[in-house]
Amino acid sequence: MEHAKIRHSKNKIRNALLTILKEKSIDKITVSDLTKTAMVNRSTFYSHYADKADLIEDLEGYFINEIETILNTTFKNNSIENGVVMSIQQLIVFALEPVNFNFLKIMLSENGDPNFANKITQSISNQISLVTVLDNHLSTYIKRFVSRGLIELVIIWIGDDDRPDPQEFIELVKKTQLLSPVQLILNQN
């Protein structure tokens, strides 16, 4: 277990990154920006992280690990169809927690990590591989289509100041996962 002082320092640095990302793109942020905003010295930063990329990997890794835990638990105890529906609900509940929502909103914005959505997509695609019998070359296309579509919906929803309420959004996502694109277009109600 991490010592409370270490956890406190790391949290200050993580929060500094998220604060700066509201104003500045990730590639423009320096370690000096981080230490100044976090009010820690450079040696404190480097005692926890090798560099800025290590800090970003730490934050994103935690988030992706949480997503994988939700998906593993949900799919392990349900049929594939029920697992899809229930995992969507669990992921939205997780994303709605204020800390997670703010993290997603920042990291999936234009100032955030441009690779973060791809990392989440790959994680979801990997989870799909664990619960399906799709193992031919075309299954790569299907997994990517399903997982990337889900992430794109979340990106739009999080960035929409006039977003539908969570339950309405969950219903929309369920439809996108259970209906064909043509059915979605023809039945937009």
pLDDT tens sequence across 84-140: 777 777 888 888 888 888 888 899 888 899 899 999 888 888 877 776 766 677 888
Average pLDDT over residues 41-65: 94
Query: Alpha helices, DSSP H only, in the chain?
Result: 4-21, 31-38, 42-48, 52-76, 80-96, 98-107, 116-131, 137-159, 166-178, 181-186
Interval 154-185: pLDDT, tens = 899 988 989 998 889 888 888 887 888 888 88
What pTM did the predictor assign?
A: 0.80
